[in-house]
């Protein structure tokens, strides 16, 4: 499992255990947004995690089944269901990434 549900300064988030590299340009992918879905009709809960490369715009979706406990923690998080901008930078820094100049871009862009 490459994903980990973590309590961060900004709230509970789901993050890769190791930084993920962009397959196109080699930059590092940042957490763009995540959203929990309750598929009771199908008998499972899942989360869609979007990771995006701030350098080239590569956008990846990961769809994972998750436990009820993680689903509830993530669903209640203030980060749930939002496009993360400055937060994406802070979360990347929690993973030990230095976002540097990219952080200024993310702060100035309405959407990235």
Residues near Zn ion, by CB under 5 A: 22, 24-25, 27, 53, 55-56, 58
Question: Which CB sits closer to Zn ion, 2 or 25?
Answer: 25
Q: C-beta of 54: minimal distance to Zn ion in Å? A: 8
Question: Which CB sits closer to Zn ion, 11 or 27?
Answer: 27
Question: Which CB sits closer to Zn ion, 22 or 103?
Answer: 22
In this structure, are strands 3-8 and 44-52 parallel, antiparallel, or unpaired?
unpaired
Number of neighbouring beta carbons within 10 Å of residue 29: 23
Number of neighbouring beta carbons within 10 Å of residue 98: 10
């Amino acid at each position: 499992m490459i994903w980990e549900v973590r309590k961060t300064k900004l709230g509970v988030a789901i993050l890769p255990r190791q930084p993920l590299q962009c397959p196109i340009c080699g930059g590092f992918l940042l957490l763009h947004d995540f959203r929990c879905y309750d598929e009771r009709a199908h008998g499972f809960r899942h989360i869609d995690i979007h990771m995006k490369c701030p350098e080239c715009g590569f956008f990846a979706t990961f769809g994972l089944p998750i436990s009820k406990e993680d689903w509830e923690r993530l669903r209640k998080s203030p980060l749930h269901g939002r496009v993360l901008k400055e937060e994406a930078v802070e979360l990347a820094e929690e993973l030990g990434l230095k976002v540097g100049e990219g952080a200024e871009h993310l702060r100035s862009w309405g959407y990235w």
